[in-house]
């Protein structure tokens, strides 16, 4: 595989690797190294299998690396083999659940949602970040977004602005001190969701207006589940449930195939 800096996924892999390393070394993530290795191996192995099975012209390790690193940062399970299963489900969904040449679900989001909803032995850990770690995480995510040139800042920022507005409005309505909504916003999981999950250019609407609409819908649904019903995995479930809307939004105002997002030639 040729090294091409126009592909923003190199920067995403670097950013996620640094965040995972920081979490394991400095924050004491409850994620054993052997579990990380097994998860990454399972993702790469699944990608390799589908490359062979579908007779693709080359093996692409970047997608499984991004997916498995995200899983290792966010997902926790009762055993390493469940993490490996999540990696297999994530990568398989990318090949098996497709509409109009795009995968319907963000791979890591789909796997996390399925594992939490079905297995009963998986969860996410949104409270594993301190305020200093959150600040470092925000800087890394913003830097990764700028360096990657993926040009999906619109959906990430639309999601964050909507979610923040809902959290602040709720605090104002209830008369809560501002420290409560600020604490709710200081989540590394929230930032990872915004900058690496909902903004996946291969699983979001092609046009900007539809991307912003989609971000608002996910933020509203995720807020209702996570804040209103105290479900820490609310954002994951919201994105998973609403992802089938993306093909419908794309067909509402379709783009020419040449104008759609390509990793080697990012488009707005």
Distance CA 106, CA 12 (A): 15
pLDDT at 173 over 60: yes
**Residue predicted with more confidence, 193 or 128:** 193
Distance CA 90, CA 107 (A): 4
What tens digit of pLDDT does each residue of 19-68 get? 899 888 888 888 899 999 999 999 999 999 999 999 998 999 999 999 99
Sign of the C-alpha dihedral, residues 193, 105, 157, 217? negative
pTM above 0.85, yes or no: yes
Q: Which of 38-47, 144-153, 168-177, 185-194 has the lowest mean pLDDT?
A: 144-153
Q: Predicted confidence band at 200 (pLDDT cuts at 50, 70, 90)? A: confident
The single-letter DSSP state of residue 8 is T
Distance CA 155, CA 257 (A): 21
Q: Predicted confidence band at 196 (pLDDT cuts at 50, 70, 90)? A: confident
50 closest CA partner among 6, 82, 94, 112: 94
150 closest CA partner among 185, 195, 207, 190: 195
What tens digit of pLDDT does each residue of 75-96 get? 999 999 999 999 999 999 999 9
- Tell me the domain boundaries of the chain: 9-259
Which of 119-133, 171-185, 206-220 is the most confident on average?
206-220
223 closest CA partner among 171, 155, 153, 188: 171
pLDDT at position 268 is 35
- The length of the chain is 268
Distance CA 7, CA 11 (A): 8
pLDDT at 125 over 80: no
């Amino acid at each position: 595989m040729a090294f091409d800096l126009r592909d923003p996924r190199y920067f995403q892999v670097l950013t996620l690797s640094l965040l995972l390393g920081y979490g394991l070394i400095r924050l004491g993530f409850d994620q054993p190294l052997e579990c990380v290795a097994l998860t990454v191996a399972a993702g790469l192995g699944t990608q390799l299998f589908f490359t062979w099975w579908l007779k693709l012209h080359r093996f692409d390790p970047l997608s499984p690396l991004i997916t498995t690193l995200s899983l290792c940062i966010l997902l926790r399970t009762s055993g390493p083999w469940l993490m490996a299963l999540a990696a297999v489900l994530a990568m398989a969904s990318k090949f098996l659940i497709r509409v109009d040449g795009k995968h319907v679900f963000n791979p890591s989001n789909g796997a996390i949602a399925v594992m939490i909803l079905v297995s009963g032995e998986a969860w996410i850990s949104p409270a594993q970040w301190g305020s200093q770690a959150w600040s470092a995480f925000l800087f890394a995510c913003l830097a990764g977004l700028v360096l990657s040139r993926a040009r999906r800042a619109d959906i990430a920022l639309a999601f964050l602005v909507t979610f923040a507005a809902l959290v602040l409005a709720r605090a104002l309505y209830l008369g809560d001190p501002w420290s409560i909504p600020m604490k709710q916003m200081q989540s590394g999981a929230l930032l990872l969701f915004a900058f690496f999950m909902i903004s996946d250019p291969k699983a979001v609407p092609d046009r900007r207006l539809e991307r912003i609409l989609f971000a608002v819908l996910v933020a509203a649904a995720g807020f209702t589940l996570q804040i209103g019903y105290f479900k820490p995995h609310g954002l994951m479930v919201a994105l998973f449930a609403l992802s089938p809307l993306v093909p419908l939004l794309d067909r509402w105002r379709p783009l020419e195939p040449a104008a759609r997002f390509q990793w080697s030639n990012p488009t707005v």
